[in-house]
Structure 1
């Protein structure tokens, strides 16, 4: 069987920008998938992802996309379409992905790269967790990714029902500020010291 990989990319520090990473981890924790398929958190690896573009037959990237459309719109973007999308290059890793595709496109052999991208609501606020709008579209994003995995010839079955918020908390200890409840605020701390 051909070598295939799913890579979640993004930056978890900027709200919806982390959805690709959350989606890859969500699939890993909630589904059994044919053992030949690799699923990784690519984070902001940037040009280090080029090795996957060269060494694999199929690469599915889960990410946000900077396309002028309604929040939550999901796009399947094959590499040849991506190479023609000048407006796509808005975030740092989007620029890197396009540049890597341009580089490997001149090689004799390179991966069939497809981005499953979702239009985010907020990729500027510094907070770990998804906006409510992205949470609403998250199941469809997962369903779209699983359909692409299935189209490559892999089978999958549901094994668990762990929520995206619990998955993010297990990864980084916080989700939309919920970690704050574990840390005493400054007033409480000062009050305790004065006692």
Structure 2
């Protein structure tokens, strides 16, 4: 691990914002960047559903903070913190989507290459709704996001990330997430259900039901 800076910290939000509560992790990173500034050795990453493409970020981090929607079979909006060696197991225990399979493999690959963070913290939230294409976070999950951010900031402070409230508004060029998918714009510009199918491509739905 000597190739890594002693204080390198990565904050990673993973998930798909297009499927309602699946976007929890990305929304957390988006909000963190909009509200806080951090020390130069801290990187915030919108991991989306990139899977193995995230390996470089994991390998370069001494400390890794992950935000994600995880199905723990708990009440919607329930947060659960998982640390260190338990993180890979939880990422693959009950997969909601392909991105979780991919990220579990990222962690295992980082272990095999012996370029693995010394500290990991997963802040996971139990989703309420996933089958809503173009939908946003449900109220229970959006409320839990505030608690998740507080927990994340506390961890980052312990790790020497030096979080402080942002003094200047974040410019579009510096945003880690696509500004077109910014939470406020995403929710405010969503087309009505009559204009956009929310369960998938409606042209194929009858065929799926026949089977």
1:138/1:108 CA distance change after superposition, 3 Å: closer
Contact kept? 1:169, 1:175, Cα under 8 Å: no
Equivalent-residue separation in structure 2 for 1:130 and 1:27 (angstroms): 16
1:155 to 2:165 alignment:
no
1:65-119 residue CA offsets vs partner (Å, 9 max, x unmatched): 1111111111222241133345233321111111222222233331233221111
Query: 1:82 and 1:88 mapped to 2: Cα distance?
Result: 13
Structure 1: runs of 5+ lacking an equivalent: 186-195
Q: Work out whether 1:44 is the aligned partner of 2:53.
A: no
Give the 3-state SS of the residue equivalent to 1:61 in structure 2.
Answer: strand
* 1:116-155 pair list within 5 angstroms: 116-155=123-162
Residue 186 of structure 2 is aligned to residue 175 of structure 1: yes
Equivalent pair of 1:79/1:101 in contact (CA under 8 Å)? no
Query: Secondary structure at 1:94's aligned position in 2?
Result: helix
Q: How far, CA to CA, are the matches of 1:81 and 1:29 in structure 2?
A: 30
For the 8 Å contact 2:79–2:123, the answer to whether it is kept is yes
Aligned partners of 2:190, 2:96: CA distance in 1, in Å?
Answer: 31
Please report the TM-score for the alignment, with normalisation by the length of structure 1: 0.79
Whether the aligned pair in 1 keeps the contact of 2:87 and 2:120 (CA below 8 Å) is no
Aligned residue number for residue 193 of structure 1:
none
TM-score norm. by structure 2 comes to: 0.74
Kept in 2: contact 1:16–1:134 (CA 8 A) = yes
Q: Please report how far the alpha carbon of residue 50 of structure 1 lies from its aligned counterpart in structure 2 after TM superposition.
A: 1.1
User: Which residue pairs with 1:68 in the alignment?
Assistant: 73
User: Aligned partners of 2:178 and 2:84: how far apart in 1?
Assistant: 33
The reply to whether residue 97 of structure 1 matches residue 108 of structure 2 is no
The CA deviation string for residues 46-72 of structure 1, in whole angstroms up to 9 with x for no partner, is 110111222221221111111111111
8 A Cα contact 2:12 2:44, kept in partner: yes
Number of corresponding residues: 177
Q: Distance in 2 between matches of 1:106 and 1:172?
A: 35
